[in-house]
A and B are shown apart, each in its own frame.
Chain A
Amino acid sequence: MSEGIFDFRFANCDLAQSVRGTIWKAVNQTSLWCILEKSELLRP
Chain B
Amino acid sequence: MLNKYSSKLTQQRSQVGSQAMLYGVGLTEADMNKAQVGIASTGWEGNTCNMHLNDLAVEVKKSVQAADLIGLIFHTIGVSDGISMGTEGMNYSLPSRDIIADSIETVMRAQWYDANISVVGCDKNMPGSVIAMGRLNRPSIMVYGGTIHPGFHNGRKLDIVSAFESYGQFVAKETDLKDLKNVLKHACPGAGACGGMYTANTMASAIETLGMSLPYSSSNPAISDEKQRECQSIGNAIRTILEKDIKPKDVMTRQAFENAIAVIIALGGSTNAVMHLIAMAKAVDVVLTIDDFQTISNRTPYLADLKPSGKYVMEELHKVGGVPAVQKLLLKEQLIDGSCLTVTGNSLAENIDALPGLMEGQTVIFPVSNPIKKTGHLQILYGNLAREGAVAKITGKEGTHFSGPAKVFDSEEACLKAIEDGKVASGDVVIIRYEGPKGGPGMREMLSITAAIMGAGLGKSVALITDGRFSGGTHGFVVGHVTPEAQLGGAIAVIKNGDQITIDVDNHTMDLNISEQELEDRLSQWTAPGLKASKGVLYKYIKTVSSASEGCVTDE
CA distance A41 to B233 in the complex (A): 11
CB atoms of B55 and A36 under 8 A apart: no
What residues on A are CB-neighbors of B191 within 8 Å?
6, 9-10
CA distance A6 to B55 in the complex (A): 8
Query: Given B221, B230, B240, which contacts A23 in the complex, CB threshold below 8 Å?
Result: B221
Q: Does B105 contact A (CB under 8 A)?
A: no
CA distance A41 to B344 in the complex (A): 6
Q: Does B397 contact A (CB under 8 A)?
A: no
Give the contacts of A1-44 with B (CB-CB under 8 A).
1-2, 5-6, 9-12, 15-16, 18-20, 22-23, 26-27, 29-33, 35-37, 39-44
CB atoms of A23 and B236 under 8 A apart: no
Query: Given B186, B228, B239, B354, which contacts A39 in the complex, CB threshold below 8 Å?
Result: B354
CB atoms of B322 and A32 under 8 A apart: yes
Q: Name the residue on A nearest B230 (C-beta).
A: A33
Nearest Cβ on chain A to B127's Cβ, whole angstroms: 25
Q: Does B459 contact A (CB under 8 A)?
A: no
Nearest Cβ on chain A to B57's Cβ, whole angstroms: 12
What residues on A are CB-neighbors of B237 within 8 Å?
42
Q: Does B214 contact A (CB under 8 A)?
A: yes
CA distance A40 to B488 in the complex (A): 53
Q: What secondary structure prevails in chain A residues at the interface with B?
A: helix
CB atoms of B186 and A36 under 8 A apart: no
Known contacts: A6-B223, A32-B355. The answer to whether A18 contacts B216 by CB under 8 A is: no
What residues on A are CB-neighbors of B356 within 8 Å?
32, 35
CA distance A30 to B225 in the complex (A): 11
Q: Does B185 contact A (CB under 8 A)?
A: yes
CA distance A10 to B48 in the complex (A): 9
Interface string of B222-241 (1 = CB under 8 A from A): 01111011100100110110
What residues on B are CB-neighbors of A12 within 8 Å?
185, 189-190
CA distance A8 to B236 in the complex (A): 29
CB atoms of B355 and A39 under 8 A apart: yes
CA distance A27 to B237 in the complex (A): 23
Query: Given A30, A31, A41, which contacts B351 in the complex, CB threshold below 8 Å?
Result: A41
Nearest Cβ on chain B to A24's Cβ, whole angstroms: 8
Q: Contact residue range for chain B? A: 35 or more
**Which interface residue of B185, B315, B344 has the most chain A CB atoms within 10 A?**
B344
What residues on A are CB-neighbors of B224 within 8 Å?
1, 23, 26-27
Q: Does B5 contact A (CB under 8 A)?
A: no
What residues on A are CB-neighbors of B215 within 8 Å?
36, 41
CB atoms of A19 and B355 under 8 A apart: no
What residues on A are CB-neighbors of B229 within 8 Å?
33, 37
CA distance A11 to B264 in the complex (A): 32
Nearest Cβ on chain A to B234's Cβ, whole angstroms: 10
Nearest Cβ on chain A to B325's Cβ, whole angstroms: 9
CB atoms of B55 and A33 under 8 A apart: no
CB atoms of A18 and B152 under 8 A apart: yes
CA distance A33 to B346 in the complex (A): 17
Query: Given B67, B223, B239, B318, which contacts A20 in the complex, CB threshold below 8 Å?
Result: B223
Q: Name the residue on A nearest B185 (C-beta).
A: A12
CB atoms of B225 and A15 under 8 A apart: no
Q: Name the residue on A nearest B321 (C-beta).
A: A32
CB atoms of B226 and A42 under 8 A apart: no
CA distance A26 to B324 in the complex (A): 18
Nearest Cβ on chain B to A2's Cβ, whole angstroms: 7
CB atoms of A42 and B344 under 8 A apart: yes
What residues on A are CB-neighbors of B346 within 8 Å?
41
CB atoms of A42 and B214 under 8 A apart: yes
26 pairs of residues in contact across A and B, judged by CB atoms under 8 Å: A6-B55, A6-B191, A6-B223, A10-B191, A12-B185, A12-B189, A15-B189, A16-B190, A18-B152, A18-B189, A19-B149, A22-B149, A23-B221, A23-B224, A31-B226, A32-B216, A32-B355, A33-B229, A36-B214, A36-B215, A36-B355, A39-B355, A41-B344, A42-B214, A42-B344, A44-B239
